[in-house]
Amino acid sequence: MDAQGNLKISSSKLDLDRPNIEDYLPSGSSIQEPLGKLRLRDLLDISPTLTEAAGAIIDDSFTRCFKSNPPEPWNWNVYLFPLWCCGVVIRYGILFPVRVLVLAIGWIIFLSSYIPVHLLLKGQDKLRKKIERSLVEVICMFFVASWTGVVKYHGPRPSMRPKQVFVANHTSMIDFIILEQMTPFAVIMQKHPGWVGLLQSTILESVGCIWFNRSEAKDREIVAKKLRDHVQGADNNPLLIFPEGTCVNNHYTVMFKKGAFELDSTVCPIAIKYNKIFVDAFWNSRKQSFTTHLLQLMTSWAVVCDVWYLEPQNLRPGETPIEFAERVRDIISVRAGLKKVPWDGYLKYSRPSPKHRERKQQSFAESVLRHLEE
């Protein structure tokens, strides 16, 4: 099926997900309105803008992309509550200390190996980078072990080849850790403060990771050039990009940024799906720090996850980068069982542009004028 067919199917699915405003309006037989009185149905007929706004209020699919759904409580009676208390004691009193010890041992092994290699092998870049890549994989394995991670990988393991880019849906920063323990990816990621930022600027530099600041417009041009240079190198680590640009709650996929699809490279989709039976792996960075998020994972029973390495995709003749991005998003969404929504994830951090608001205002004004002229 060509790209246009995929887009039509995706849009039809979205139409089915959208609420029908008529279902929320009273029928003519249920309420008697005085003649000449303006009804809600008449008001919504004035402009599609009002209909769209009412639909957003009834079914806010944008906000739902970034909401963490708490599990249903099960310790609600006298029989289950003692079992729940035993689980709390085991998770916080036994599993958590053991996991902290495992992570501490991992850091001791990593730092005692990484620092000498980084300092003593500066003149042998190829050997140094190879050892550092392996050490980064090791510390990622210790991180996954500290959550009792149960991760199942499907498909062939990624290899180092020029002119290829791996793209994946994004739920949490642990996506990178889960993928990195199998393959030393070079990831493009938002620059973070605190100890995470320290790791980004020191240790993760060894695998060729690229950082940017979302608030700096000039960073976009610099990052775009770094991406183009990276994919051309045969000895560089495979490039991993999360094109949604933000963490989504693993129920939906928001629009993919087109930058990863403009590099004239083969795009290899990766689908990540978390099982929420023990813990919700979604990281809401606006409500909790990454440290708090890690503690939440380390005090759960386990993190259960499936990862699919899907068939590589190339830009088709006559296909635009935006259509290419949507086609890849379709593939990932279907494999991971995620629902597509037509939203830009960056709206989570900023308001709509003035141009977008002006277009909406002009459309609304024109529809009102047409209604008055009738």
pLDDT 10s digits, 174-229 = 999 999 999 888 888 777 777 777 777 777 777 778 777 665 556 667 777 878 88
Inside any domain, residue 32: no
Within-domain flag for 254: yes
Instruction: With CA atoms as reference, report the closest residue to 102 among 151, 296, 94.
Output: 94
Structure-token pair, residue 191:
């620059």
Residue 303 lies in a domain: yes
Strand pairing of 210-212 and 149-154? unpaired
> Residue 163: left if φ>0, alpha if ψ -120 to 50, beta else—which one?
left
In angstroms, rounded to a whole number, what is the distance separating the alpha carbons of residues 75 and 82? Answer: 8
- 317 within some domain: yes
Provide the domain limits for residue 331. 147-347
Does a structural domain hold residue 225?
A: yes
Residue 324 counted as domain residue: yes
- Distance CA(298)–CA(149), nearest Å, equals 10
| Terminal alpha carbon distance of the chain | 44
Q: Which of 168, 149, 170 lies closest to 251, judged by CA?
A: 170
The two beta strands, 239-241 and 266-275, are unpaired
Query: 308 has which bridge partners?
Result: 154, 271
Count of CA atoms in the C-beta half-sphere (13 A) of 58: 15
Domain total of the chain? 1
Q: Is residue 154 part of a domain?
A: yes
Q: Are 118 and 206 in contact (CB under 8 A)?
A: yes
Return the bridge partners of 216, or none: none
Task: Measure the CA–CA gap between 361 and 349, rounded to whole angstroms.
Answer: 22
Instruction: Give CA angle at 224 (223, 230), nearest 5°.
Output: 85
Are 149 and 178 a contacting pair, CB within 8 Å? yes
Q: Beta 303-309 vs 149-154: how paired, if at all?
A: parallel
Q: What is the pTM of this model?
A: 0.75
Question: For residue 270, what are the β-bridge partners?
Answer: 168, 309
Tell me, letter by letter, the H, E, C secondary structure of the chain. CCHHHHHHHHHHHHHHHCCCHHHHCCCCCCCCCCCCCCCHHHHHHHCHHHHHHHHHHHCCHHHHCCCCCCCCCCCCCCCHHHHHHHHHHHHHHHHHHHHHHHHHHHHHHHHHHHHHHHHHCCCCHHHHHHHHHHHHHHHHHHHHHHCCEEEEEECCCCCCCCCEEEEECCCCCHHHHHHHCCCCCEEEEECCCHHHHHHHHCCHHHHCCEEECCCCCHHHHHHHHHHHHHHHCCCCCCEEECCCCCCCCCCEECCCCHHHHCCCCEEEEEEEEEECCCCCCCCCCCCCCHHHHHHHHHCCCCEEEEEEECCCECCCCCCCHHHHHHHHHHHHHHHHCCEECCCCHHHHCCCCCHHHHHHHHHHHHHHHHHHHHC
Q: What string of pLDDT tens digits covers the 374 residues of the chain?
A: 444 455 444 444 444 444 454 454 455 444 444 444 545 555 555 556 556 655 555 455 667 777 777 777 777 778 888 888 999 999 999 999 999 999 999 999 999 999 898 888 887 878 888 898 889 999 999 999 999 999 999 998 887 777 889 999 999 999 999 999 998 888 887 777 777 777 777 777 777 787 776 655 566 677 778 788 888 777 788 889 999 988 898 999 999 988 889 888 899 999 999 998 899 999 988 888 889 999 999 999 999 999 999 999 999 999 999 999 999 999 999 999 999 988 876 666 666 566 666 776 677 677 767 766 66
Q: Is residue 314 part of a domain?
A: yes
Whole-angstrom distance, CA of residue 241 vs CA of residue 225: 15
